[in-house]
């Protein structure tokens, strides 16, 4: 196909990765990272990028060796057997339910803000759920057709928001650093850089050519990594740490960063675009993720294919997270913590690390890299579990930050 054809395919595959990565994680990213500080967060972002790139390559190698249709569960079953499959299923369910709950929680909060609080967050959740789920069940083909248009518009609005926010940024806010709180930001940074689910499609697009796949992984993950850093700079520069419309207030409310950002941009048009950006991200991501989740339950349910299995799959996919989000509507940031700190780190950090360690030992290669990967993944996983169970409490240090700054 030649160098030109290969480059086009790599760019196409890289954009598939970027499109998968830029999702709900980016809406909550600046809130916790801003409280930890710009410098610590940038260091953590590049660290997570390197880890996610490494684990992505571990999965991609197996997909290329298999050469056919293989998903994550096939990958785990082939490498770790039934025991490996059994231990990943609970983490995968937490991931799926966490994704739905995070979308619903954020969707309710954004619609409430768009309506000027005429809609309560619970009412916003109901509106978002009915409209988006109906689209997922009946209008996926339409969404796929306009997906490129939505993504293009999303990118343009995103860039415009970043430029506007950076123009009015207060550079003093970039000096704040809370290294103790940094570990609490890692789960949401992980969530904002997860892409591994798209790896089989990337390998097929590039005809399972290792050199091209590696290029696509590097480029496709580096683009959102840079975008995340620019987004952190834009939001942290625009929002105060404490006070009204602050990062700390947003953290306590469990809201996406775009809600307070819309209030402080001092432009009705930019405020509207900020909220529109949120709802488009949530809608497109929810529709595509919901379809995948329904398909997952259809695959594992021991029922004959047909309407009955489809209906059961819909119920299992939506009812549990819907009940949870109505009980606890402000769970957006908490859901992202659980998704990133527990499910993604376990599925796409610890599991690939174990496989990499076994491969290096079998090939008499140095085990330093897989040990470092495993150790860092285990530590982050353990810290998040400890925080979620109340064994560890990490609070932001904000007492020295002047109000209004």
Residue 281, in any domain of the structure: yes
For residue 8, count other CB atoms closer than 10 A to its CB: 12
- Domain count across the chain: 1
> Where in the sequence is the domain holding 365, given as residue range(s)?
7-388
Q: Would you state the pLDDT for residue 291?
A: 76
- The structure tokens listed for 46 are 């590049």
The series of mean pLDDT values per 10 residues for the chain, 405 residues long, is 65 83 86 94 95 92 74 81 87 89 93 91 94 80 62 80 86 92 92 88 86 94 93 93 91 90 83 85 81 78 82 92 92 90 93 92 90 91 88 69 42
Sign of the alpha-carbon torsion through 55, 60, 66, 71:
positive
Residue 404, in any domain of the structure: no
Give the CATH number of the domain where residue 366 resides: 1.20.1740.10
Residue 393, in any domain of the structure: no
Residue 400, in any domain of the structure: no
Closest C-alpha among 98, 128, 114, 66 to residue 347: 98
Residue 127, in any domain of the structure: yes
Residue 181, in any domain of the structure: yes
| pTM of the entire predicted model | 0.86
Q: Would you state the pLDDT for residue 68?
A: 58
Residue 398, in any domain of the structure: no
Q: Would you state the pLDDT for residue 127?
A: 95
Q: Would you state the pLDDT for residue 142?
A: 60
Residue 384, in any domain of the structure: yes
Q: Would you state the pLDDT for residue 20?
A: 77
Cα separation, 318 vs 315, whole angstroms:
6
Q: Each residue of 141-167: pLDDT tens digit?
A: 665 565 666 677 778 888 888 888 888
Q: Each residue of 26-74: pLDDT tens digit?
A: 889 999 999 999 999 999 999 999 999 999 999 998 888 876 556 777 7
Q: Would you state the pLDDT for residue 168?
A: 82
Q: Would you state the pLDDT for residue 400?
A: 42
């Amino acid at each position: 196909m030649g160098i030109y054809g290969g480059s086009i395919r790599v760019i196409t595959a890289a954009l598939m990765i970027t499109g998968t990565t830029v999702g709900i994680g980016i809406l909550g990213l600046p809130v916790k990272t801003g409280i930890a500080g710009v410098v610590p967060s940038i260091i953590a972002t590049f660290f997570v990028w390197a880890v996610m790139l490494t684990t992505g390559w571990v999965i991609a190698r197996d997909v290329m060796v298999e050469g056919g249709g293989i998903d994550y569960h096939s990958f785990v079953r082939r490498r770790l057997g039934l025991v490996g499959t059994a231990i990943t299923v609970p983490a995968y369910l937490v991931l799926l339910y966490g994704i739905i709950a995070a979308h619903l929680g954020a969707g309710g909060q954004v619609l409430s803000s768009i309506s000027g609080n005429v809609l309560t967050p619970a009412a916003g959740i109901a509106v978002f759920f009915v409209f988006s789920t109906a689209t997922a069940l009946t209008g996926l083909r339409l969404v796929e057709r306009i997906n490129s248009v939505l993504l293009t518009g999303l990118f343009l609005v995103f860039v415009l928001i970043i430029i506007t926010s950076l123009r009015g940024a207060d550079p003093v806010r970039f000096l704040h650093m809370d290294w103790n709180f940094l570990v609490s930001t890692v789960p949401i940074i992980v969530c904002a850089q997860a892409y591994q689910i798209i790896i089989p499609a990337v390998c097929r697009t590039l005809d399972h050519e290792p050199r091209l796949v590696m290029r696509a992984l590097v480029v496709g993950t580096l683009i959102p990594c840079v975008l995340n850093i620019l987004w952190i700079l834009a939001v942290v520069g625009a929002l105060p740490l404490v006070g009204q419309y602050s990062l700390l207030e947003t953290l306590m409310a469990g809201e996406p960063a775009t809600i307070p950002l819309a209030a402080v941009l001092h432009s009705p048009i930019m405020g509207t675009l900020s909220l529109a950006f949120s709802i488009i991200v949530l809608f497109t991501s929810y529709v595509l993720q919901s379809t995948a989740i329904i398909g997952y339950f259809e695959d594992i349910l021991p029922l004959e294919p047909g309407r009955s299995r489809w209906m059961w799959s819909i119920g299992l996919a939506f009812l549990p997270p819907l009940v949870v989000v109505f009980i606890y509507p402000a769970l957006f940031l908490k859901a992202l913590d659980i998704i990133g700190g527990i499910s993604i780190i376990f599925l796409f950090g610890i599991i690939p690390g174990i496989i990499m360690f076994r491969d290096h030992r079998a090939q008499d290669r140095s085990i330093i890299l897989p040990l470092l990967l495993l150790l860092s993944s285990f530590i982050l996983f353990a810290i998040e579990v400890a925080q979620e169970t109340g064994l560890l409490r990490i609070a932001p240090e904000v007492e020295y930050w002047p109000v209004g700054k």
